[in-house]
Structure 1
Amino acid sequence: MDRPPRLTDRTALAAHRARACRGGGPELFLHREALSELQERLSEVNRSFTKPAIVTGFPAFWAEAFPDATVVADTDLLDLEPGAHDLVIHAMALHWADDPVGQLVQARRALVEDGLLLAVSFAGDTLRELRISFAEAESRLRGGLSPRVAPMGDLRDLGGLLQRAGFALPVADLSPRQVDYATPLHLMRELRAMGETNALDQRDRRPLRRDVLAATLDLYATEFPGDNGRVRATFQFAFLTGWAPSENQPQPMRPGSASHRLADALGTVEFDRDMNPMTDSAAADKGDD
């Protein structure tokens, strides 16, 4: 089987993460945001988990939140024992994976039957403003583009990853955040402090030209203003939920097998394609299609 194309320079990514962890420690407020929402989602699951595992590039932060968990790095081969965990959390690392399906397959194999996967990662329109500003500046001044911001999966693609990895009852959704910064340079400094600067394998290794940086900062401030003279940055978390298959899990109903109409249960009126109210008989005929 052919290996997927290499997205990430793992040596550079490890160096960026290590640099972020030195000194006063990494700036992980977005990890805290992700953790808070993830814990809220876990609280809605009517089950206790006694054998959790966490896959992450920032083990100290996530181990503090889940002190009883096995914590492993987000390497190509995850150091997880098959069938050893009832919960696997893939925490803020999937957007750097060369093979995200492989990461999820390994997470599924590490789960007991009916074990839960919860993955959270940057996705969607994350850093769209920075991506656009860099692209425009480089196009003007260099006549070409260099990869500056990691590509982010969209919701449909991410949901498909869960299905391809063999999870039952897969759910994928996006949780957006808008963050204002004093200047685009403050955003770039914070990305550096988060260990999230450019680690793309196909990046331009040469130092960023001053004129390209200046043009990028100017375009960003002009095109994406925030409140009170600041600038705005978009972040989106993708939350992926899936269960290791089990015979005891609920199964989806076959199309056309429902005995009651959803419109009746919700107390609403059902309309046809021309926005005409449907009679009971017409709705029944539609349900038989």
Structure 2
Amino acid sequence: MNELKRLFDRQAVNRNRIRALSDRAYQPFLLDEVAERLVERLSEIRRPFPRVLELGSWRGRMAAMLAEVGLGSELTVALDPVGDALDEGPGLKVQAEPELLPFADNSFDLVVSALALHHVDDLPGVLVQLRRLLAADGLMLLALLGGESLMELRTALMQAELDLKGGAAMRVAPFVDIRDAAALLQRAELALPVADVDRITVTYADPLALLHDLQSMGEGGALVDRPKGMFRRDLLLRTAEIYRERFAREDGRVIAHFEILHLSAWKPHESQQKPARRGSGQVRLAAAMGVPVEVLEGTAKRGETGG
């Protein structure tokens, strides 16, 4: 069997997170916004989830939101590969990588994750593990950065490098596409899979403020094959110049788009709704539409279309 090719440098991913968490005054606004939207989605599901796993943490910010609405009444566990992310918040804490989940089968009724899975190499494998550790009729609700995120920054970086070096390397991580994400849910044999998109637009005083904010969120470069000199002065200045030229508003502020993929699916259970068996319909389409069957088949002669 072929070994999985690593796209992300896990040490760099975790190092970026440690650096970001060291600034205890920083408020991760994007994480808070996404977490609030996840909790809002959960509030529409009228059923209890007494055992909850938060996959990826930022000092228990989302776990606290879940506790406020009564979720995790029996057990709340926060998992993160970085110990600093687990030093606050309710529930039990487990330091582990998201691709190696150390839990028994059927351990949780709900798994939630806000912006913690876009830097894993084996997302299909993670989904299979989540299916295993969920109890029957348990729910997973995940939010990831999607493929259209930071397109402005990608464009400016690529053009700047073309201008200065005559070629461009990948500097911003590729994020999963919504169609691929939906297919992965089905591939993991999860029930009632749903994938949809939120788009969040943020404005900054200038492109350098955006880069600083990404660093503060722990979203620095972490590709295995990332090029050296990410912040070489000439490249940085040219990138900022192109960004302002193409993506500035009339007031001078620049925009950045974040695409948030929301993935939800259930551990299969016999009580769940199931699609009708193919060919099991008892009413012909023509009858339902009130037209002769020849019209739908294209065989009706002129004057025989009814009405």
Q: TM-score, normalised by structure 2?
A: 0.82
1:199 maps to 2:222: yes
The 3 A distance-change label for structure 1 pair 282 and 6 is: same
Q: Is the 8 A contact 1:171 1:240 kept in 2?
A: yes
**Which amino acid in structure 1 is aligned with residue 154 of structure 2?**
R
Take 1:52 and 1:261, find their aligned partners in 2: how far apart are those partners? Answer: 46
Take 1:171 and 1:279, find their aligned partners in 2: how far apart are those partners? Answer: 33
Equivalent residue, structure 2, for 1:29: 29
Calculate the aligned-residue CA RMSD, in Å.
2.4
Equivalent residue, structure 2, for 1:252: 275
Take 2:122 and 2:13, find their aligned partners in 1: how far apart are those partners? Answer: 16
Equivalent residue, structure 1, for 2:137: 114
Take 2:208 and 2:281, find their aligned partners in 1: how far apart are those partners? Answer: 56
1:70 maps to 2:77: yes
Aligned sequence identity (%): 40
Equivalent residue, structure 2, for 1:208: 231
Q: What is the Cα deviation at residue 191 of structure 1?
A: 0.5
Q: What is the Cα deviation at residue 50 of structure 1?
A: 0.2
Equivalent residue, structure 1, for 2:196: 173
Q: What is the Cα deviation at residue 261 of structure 1?
A: 9.2
The 3 A distance-change label for structure 1 pair 118 and 227 is: farther
Equivalent residue, structure 2, for 1:49: 49
Equivalent residue, structure 2, for 1:271: none
| Deviations, residues 184-226 of structure 1 (Å, cap 9, x unaligned) | 1110111011111111111013453211111100001111123
Q: What is the Cα deviation at residue 81 of structure 1?
A: 2.4
Take 1:283 and 1:150, find their aligned partners in 2: how far apart are those partners? Answer: 54
Take 2:210 and 2:124, find their aligned partners in 1: how far apart are those partners? Answer: 30
Equivalent residue, structure 2, for 1:150: 173
* Worse overlay, 86-95 or 57-66: 57-66
Take 1:178 and 1:64, find their aligned partners in 2: how far apart are those partners? Answer: 26
Q: What is the Cα deviation at residue 82 of structure 1?
A: 1.6
Structure 1 segments of 4 or more deviating over 6 A? Answer: none
- Structure 1 counterpart SS, 2:235: helix
Q: Is the 8 A contact 1:170 1:242 kept in 2?
A: yes
Equivalent residue, structure 2, for 1:129: 152
Take 1:281 and 1:39, find their aligned partners in 2: how far apart are those partners? Answer: 49
Q: What is the Cα deviation at residue 58 of structure 1?
A: 2.6
Q: Is the 8 A contact 1:17 1:57 kept in 2?
A: no
Q: TM-score, normalised by structure 1?
A: 0.87
Q: Is the 8 A contact 1:124 1:236 kept in 2?
A: yes
* Worse overlay, 165-174 or 220-229: 220-229
Q: Is the 8 A contact 2:57 2:78 kept in 1?
A: no
Equivalent residue, structure 2, for 1:280: 291
Q: What is the Cα deviation at residue 79 of structure 1?
A: 2.6
Take 2:15 and 2:193, find their aligned partners in 1: how far apart are those partners? Answer: 34
Q: What is the Cα deviation at residue 134 of structure 1?
A: 0.4
**Which amino acid in structure 2 is aligned with residue 252 of structure 1?**
P
Q: What is the Cα deviation at residue 125 of structure 1?
A: 0.9
Equivalent residue, structure 1, for 2:164: 141
* Worse overlay, 26-35 or 132-141: 26-35
Superposed, 1:93-104 pairs within 5 Å as 93-104=116-127
Q: Is the 8 A contact 1:178 1:234 kept in 2?
A: yes
The 3 A distance-change label for structure 1 pair 254 and 59 is: farther
The 3 A distance-change label for structure 1 pair 80 and 283 is: farther
Take 2:243 and 2:79, find their aligned partners in 1: how far apart are those partners? Answer: 37
